[in-house]
Amino acid sequence: MRQIFLDTETTGLSPETGDRVIEIGCIEMVNRRLTGDNRHYYLNPERPSSEEALKVHGLTDEFLADKPKFAEIAEELMQWLSGAEVIIHNASFDTNFLDHELKRVGRAAFGTHVASVRDSLLMARDLFPGKRNSLDALCARLEVDNSNRTLHGALLDAGLLAEVFVRMTRGQDSLVIDSAASASAQGAGATVLRVDLSAIGVCLVDPEPHELAEHDRVLAELDKASGGKTVWRELVS
């Protein structure tokens, strides 16, 4: 499965009144492994950013003045996104802006170019009802290091979202670039080192009471998230 984590920065909050996209960041993941094949664009919006938006992203009009316009990167970006599931935090905000940008260059709406769009904010609200579910709040709750996020940045935020998504879906603790995929990308002659672990002894350590309690807590969270459909409930009964 090919998934793209996408984030944008904009000149303001309303594309209907002329606000534009100024930055797009995309992180690619295939079969729950980062590939390292990402996309990042700064864009000339042909209009100034609002003071409020500038405080969020810090991208000045002078910095963006010599950057490409959306029309210049639209073809490349849409081809690269084609067929992928795109995951966005508060997806309606970003897709609304991208729809307006695509309309300006005579292209169909964003959703027609990709396999599907998944909103990680809606996922978080289902998992953590009644709690704050901003990207910063999720990083704190799921122990994702966002200490470098002094300002919003599209590529940085897309990377944080990838970490948050994996932890919300309980697939693994952190993201790594798959070595086999990397070897494949390097050509048919590349090899992946395989290590025989059969001769290595395994040391079994009995868990401490607090570790058992934490284990039970995590299982309870998983059970709640699945609506009581976890396999171990059936096995115990």
Under 8 Å between Cβ of 56 and 151? yes
Cα(68)–Cα(80) distance, integer angstroms: 18
Cα 198 from chain centroid (whole Å): 37
β-strand pairing of 21-30 with 33-34: antiparallel
One of 57, 89, 152, 210 is an active-site residue; which one? Answer: 152
- Burial (CB count <10 Å: 0-12, 13-18, 19+), residue 69: middle
Report the SS3 class of residue 125: helix
E strand intervals along 56-169: 85-88, 116-119
CA-to-CA dists, residue 187 to 183, 190, 221, angstroms: 7, 6, 43
Among this protein's residues, is 152 annotated catalytic?
Answer: yes
| DSSP per-residue string spanning 160-174 | HHHHHHHHHTTS-SS
Under 8 Å between Cβ of 29 and 42? no
Q: Is the dihedral of CA 178, 173, 234, 237 positive or negative?
A: positive
Q: Residue 106 carries which DSSP code?
A: T
Catalytic residues: 152
